[in-house]
Amino acid sequence: MKIDGACHCGNIAFEAEVDPETVRICHCTDCQTFSGSLFRANVQASGETFRLIRGMPKIYIKTADSGTKRAQAFCPDCGTGLWATSPTDPTSYGLRVGTITQRATFRPTHQIWCQSELPWTSEVGAVERRDRA
């Protein structure tokens, strides 16, 4: 599936081909911290199809507990997290679903790092809902 996306301010834009079956939710503490939320939803894109259309992200190299390094790309102007990839020779990109124009078509197929899931995450569906604030 061909997708396009951008950061909140629009200064950085990208396009790629993704497989909707690779959408996952990550509950790791890094994803919670990076997103400022309960979890982060990602979809995989091949490095061969990923293309930066506009702008230049700032890159932060995060070393995981395992020692694996990941390049975290974000907009230096608005701070939107955009993707994660290998710091050298990227062959795939973990695109942040919230930055993709076609995000409403995606449904997660699995969840990872569930041992870090916040204990009330499963209760969100029961919280009072409003269409607007």
Give the CA count within 13 Å in the CB-facing half-sphere of 61: 6
* Residue 27 counted as domain residue: yes
How does residue 78 score in pLDDT terms, banded at 50, 70 and 90? very high
How does residue 99 score in pLDDT terms, banded at 50, 70 and 90? very high
CATH of the domain at 112: 2.170.150.70
Domain that holds residue 107: 2-119
* Residue 127 counted as domain residue: no
Question: Which region, left, alpha or beta, applies to residue 65 given φ > 0 means left and ψ of -120 to 50 means alpha?
Answer: alpha
* Residue 130 counted as domain residue: no
* Residue 31 counted as domain residue: yes
**What per-residue confidence (pLDDT) applies to 95?**
98
Tell me: pLDDT of 22 over 90: yes
What is the count of structural domains for the chain?
1
* Residue 9 counted as domain residue: yes
How does residue 66 score in pLDDT terms, banded at 50, 70 and 90? confident
* Residue 129 counted as domain residue: no
* Residue 100 counted as domain residue: yes
Whole-structure pTM value: 0.90
Helices (H), the chain: 29-35
* Residue 128 counted as domain residue: no
